[in-house]
Amino acid sequence: MARTLLGLVAGLLVGCAGAKPKAVHFEGEPDDALVTIEDQYIGKLGKIEKAAVALKPGTYRVTVEQVGFFPFDVIVTVPEEGEPETVKVELEPIPD
């Protein structure tokens, strides 16, 4: 059973006072890429893939960065009804 990184995103859960957080799953490489949500560092992609990130319904800017790759930016919407989609990270290497 996957653990949820609740403590790491406590500051992001302030909005939507009555809504319950939902598990947002991530897929991608490299494992040591750094994940931020709304400019708040969450952790390394490999660790987040094994767990998940708990977010309340709303819209969030997610950035994944790694040296040697262009940054990956995406807007993630966590719906009030149903489950959020898996965030599929596709980092593109910077050419030599």
Q: What is the dihedral of CA 68, 86, 38, 81, to 10 degrees?
A: 170
Query: Which pTM value belongs to this model?
Result: 0.80
3-state secondary structure of 50: helix
15: helix, coil or strand? coil
Q: What is the token pair recorded at 38?
A: 């709304």
Q: pLDDT 10s per residue in the chain (96 long)?
A: 344 444 444 445 444 567 899 999 999 999 999 999 999 999 999 999 999 999 999 999 999 999 999 999 999 999 999 889 999 999 999 998
